[in-house]
């Protein structure tokens, strides 16, 4: 059985506010994604399985980065406006 290598997938989001403050967050896909050499291109089913693993990790990381940057930004807004602690 061939052991699959994993490539690193990292999303980085940055918000620069009007006053020049930079808010930045990054997330990494848990477990990584299939390395290019590990994509099964021998059959349609094999390729689709490899692509599915890539797509699931990408979507999970995308959702995490959206949540992380939103929480950070809203926390910053709340502090500046004296709302939440």
Instruction: Convert the pLDDT of each residue in 27-78 to its tens digit.
Output: 999 888 988 888 889 999 999 999 999 999 999 999 999 999 999 999 988 8
For residue 81, the SS3 value is coil
DSSP per position, 2-50: PPPPEE--EEEEEEE-TTS-EEEEEEE-TT-EE-GGGS--SSHHHHHHH
Q: 0.85 exceeded by the pTM?
A: no
């Amino acid at each position: 059985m061939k052991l699959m290598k994993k490539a690193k997938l990292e999303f980085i989001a940055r918000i620069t506010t009007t006053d020049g403050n930079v808010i930045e967050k990054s997330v990494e896909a848990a477990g990584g994604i299939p390395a290019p050499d590990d994509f099964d291109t021998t059959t349609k089913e094999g390729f689709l399985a490899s692509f599915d693993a890539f797509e699931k990790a990408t979507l999970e990381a995308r959702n995490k980065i959206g949540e992380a940057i939103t929480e950070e930004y809203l926390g910053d807004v709340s502090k500046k406006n004296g709302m939440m602690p």
